[in-house]
Amino acid sequence: MKLTVTAVKNAKPSTKTRRLFDGGGLYLEVTPKGGKWRRLKYRFNSKEKRISLGVYPEISLKVARERRDEAKRLLANGIDPSEHRKALKAQAVRLQTNGTDVAIV
């Protein structure tokens, strides 16, 4: 069953980390301290991986689903979303050290 905005807002912490699944590998991870992370679980080269798509409430459910879809497009093209993100950050750091300002994606 898909997550709703109300379900995300009302998700309460428990003694262990909980996962509320949305579909397509996207889920909300609720920590015992009350933190809420949007994460994506996927497989690349037969290995299970996961990446963070943002923190609730800064990243809405709609944006998290868009980020999931973008990660799925990368996977369909044979690109690991985690490695792609690392490469983009490294490129941004290189450009910043050369005196050019670039926003990190």
Q: Are 61 and 74 a contacting pair, CB within 8 Å? A: no
pLDDT confidence of residue 17:
96
The Cα 7–Cα 80 span in angstroms is 30
Q: What is the pLDDT along the chain (105 residues), one digit of tens a residue?
A: 788 989 999 999 999 999 999 999 999 999 999 999 999 999 999 999 999 999 999 999 999 999 999 999 999 999 999 999 999 998 888 888 876 555 555
DSSP state letters, 10-79:
H----SS-EEEEEETTEEEEE-TTS-EEEEEEEEETTEEEEEEEEETTTS-HHHHHHHHHHHHHHHHTT-
Domains in the chain, CATH or no CATH each? 5-97 (3.30.160.390)
- Tokens 């459910």: give the residue: 61
pLDDT confidence of residue 86:
92
pLDDT confidence of residue 93:
86
The Cα 25–Cα 21 span in angstroms is 7
pTM (two decimals): 0.81
